[in-house]
């Protein structure tokens, strides 16, 4: 059997969980398309870390807002032009605009839905045709424990992350016959730049609700992504994998 060089596209890969996922794929010999919204310095650090794995993949930066349809179409087209295939899509890009519902602006609601859910839809739609043609694909979306259980002050974020779950289950049913899986990872409290803005009191309160007794790291999510992306995981589709230290039980 011909040895196929796999290509992964990771959105929001400039830092945090997305960076860890991109580096994980690089360490496994994948070609990696590193999408990011605007922080060139952070994205170049991700690129550097991918190269430092010493593997034989190729890594390219793809700057752009994935809630923009034209950006998405160009991103996927460029990836196909360079690597001839896209095997894995990781919908990781996400933002927060927290606030109680009575004070949340329509703009803050729309912005979070646009990036977190619309962006994932546009990316998933764009890779579906080439994946169907090659009869192979893995679509993995990064949701959240709050997409399963909700959270006060995060109506927009929770809605977007719950939407990823429903979308992925539908994708799984549409695409399974073409050997394309669609799964979701629902992280709990993961130590990233996003959690750094929380007060110590808020962090302690969250940790108290985690049976494992501590927050997770970005590598915990990257390891779960690598598992679902593997060829050996082809009979797993439409599932939500909680990576949360038991927080979601």
Q: Classify residue 249: in a domain, yes or no.
A: no
- Is 36 an annotated catalytic residue? no
Contact status, residue 138 vs residue 228, Cβ threshold 8 Å: yes
The secondary structure of residue 6, as a DSSP letter, is: -
Tokens 């950006």, located at residue: 71
Question: What are the angstrom distances between the C-alpha of 70 and each of 119, 126, 130?
Answer: 11, 11, 17
Q: Classify residue 97: in a domain, yes or no.
A: yes
Contact status, residue 152 vs residue 131, Cβ threshold 8 Å: no
Q: Comparing C-alpha atoms, which of 131, 116, 95, 11 is closest to residue 61?
A: 11
**Confidence class for position 134, pLDDT limits 50, 70, 90:** very high
Average pLDDT, the chain: 94
CATH code where residue 234 lies: 3.40.50.720
Per-residue pLDDT, averaged over 88-104, amounts to 95
Q: Which two tokens stand for residue 11?
A: 């959105």
pLDDT in tens, 8-42: 999 999 999 999 999 999 999 999 999 999 999 99
- The residue segments making up the domain with residue 140 are 7-243
Compute the chain's Rg from CA coordinates: 17
What is the spatial distance between Cα 104 and Cα 13, in angstroms, rounded to a whole number?
28
In the predicted model, is pLDDT for residue 191 greater than 90?
Answer: no
Q: pLDDT at position 195, please?
A: 67
Contact status, residue 18 vs residue 92, Cβ threshold 8 Å: yes
Q: Classify residue 2: in a domain, yes or no.
A: no
In the predicted model, is pLDDT for residue 194 greater than 70?
Answer: no
Task: Output b/e per residue, 63-101; b: 16+ Cβ within 10 A.
Answer: ebbbbeeebbeebbeebbeebebbbbbbbbbbbbbeeee
Q: pLDDT at position 8, please?
A: 98
Tokens 């430092």, located at residue: 52
Q: Classify residue 248: in a domain, yes or no.
A: no
**Confidence class for position 249, pLDDT limits 50, 70, 90:** confident
Q: Classify residue 1: in a domain, yes or no.
A: no
Q: pLDDT at position 206, please?
A: 78
Give Dmax (Cα) for the chain: 59
What is the spatial distance between Cα 36 and Cα 9, in angstroms, rounded to a whole number?
11
Q: Classify residue 231: in a domain, yes or no.
A: yes
Q: Comparing C-alpha atoms, which of 16, 65, 62 is closest to residue 35?
A: 62
Q: What is the model's pTM?
A: 0.94
Q: Which H helix or E strand runs over 141?
A: strand 137-142
Counting the structural domains of the chain, the total is: 1
Catalytic residue among 30, 36, 157, 235: 157
In the predicted model, is pLDDT for residue 1 greater than 50?
Answer: no
């Amino acid at each position: 059997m011909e040895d196929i060089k796999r290509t992964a596209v990771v959105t929001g890969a400039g830092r945090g969980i997305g960076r860890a996922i991109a580096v994980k794929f690089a360490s496994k010999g994948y070609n990696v398309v590193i999408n990011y919204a605007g922080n060139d310095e952070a994205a170049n650090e991700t690129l550097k870390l991918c190269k430092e794995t010493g593997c034989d993949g190729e890594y390219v930066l793809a700057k752009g807002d994935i809630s923009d349809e034209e950006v998405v179409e160009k991103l996927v087209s460029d990836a196909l032009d360079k690597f001839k295939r896209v095997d894995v899509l990781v919908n990781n890009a996400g933002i927060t605009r927290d606030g109680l519902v009575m004070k949340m602006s329509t703009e803050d609601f729309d912005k979070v839905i646009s990036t977190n859910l619309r962006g994932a839809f546009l990316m998933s739609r764009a890779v579906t045709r080439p994946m169907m043609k090659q009869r192979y694909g893995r679509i993995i979306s990064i949701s959240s424990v709050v997409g399963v259980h909700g959270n006060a002050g995060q109506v927009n974020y929770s809605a977007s992350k719950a939407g990823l779950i429903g979308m992925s289950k539908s994708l799984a049913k549409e695409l399974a016959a073409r050997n394309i899986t669609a799964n979701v990872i629902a992280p709990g409290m993961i130590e990233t730049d996003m959690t750094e803005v929380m007060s110590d009191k808020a962090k302690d309160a969250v940790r108290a609700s985690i049976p494992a007794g501590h927050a997770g790291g970005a590598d915990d999510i990257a390891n779960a992504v690598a598992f679902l992306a593997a060829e050996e995981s082809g009979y797993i589709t439409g599932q939500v994998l909680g990576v949360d230290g038991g927080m979601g039980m």
